[in-house]
Amino acid sequence: MRAVLQRVSEASCRVDDKTTGEIKTGFLVLLGIEEADTDDDLNWLANKIAAMRVFSDENGLMNKALADVDGNILLISQFTLFAQTKKGNRPSFIRAAKPDKAIPLYKQMIIALQNLTGKKIATGIFGADMKISLVNDGPVTIIMDTKIRE
């Protein structure tokens, strides 16, 4: 799994001119799922997201986690995080999980994050043409890959 985690002061997702999810302070998480992903990958990533300390403390240092700032999460599925661009100019998405594998893992991630944060997770719609708006706070953008845990 890959995640692009962005610290935001606000973020929202619209599908067909309807808002499917929106948050104020928190994380916009773009989540890519590949065929090789397992429950172990999901659990590791969910715990990392929930515990990531990138919010400013009283000294302006990034020491606070999502719970410390009463933050929320907007979780968006994004298979393009597994784009392979080595050959040619048209990306290949062969490593991205097919919907029959990706959808259950995406739903599991929603549940895992809800359990870890104690909050409802805002979402987009899997596979839809989504319009994402955000105000990246900082900017702070962190890329995590469950196959690179160092």
Q: Which residues are catalytic?
A: 80
Angle of CA points 47, 49, 54, to nearest 5°: 130
Which residue is it, tokens 């599908």?
15
Which residue is it, tokens 């020491």?
63
State the first-to-last Cα distance of the chain, in angstroms, to the nearest integer. 15
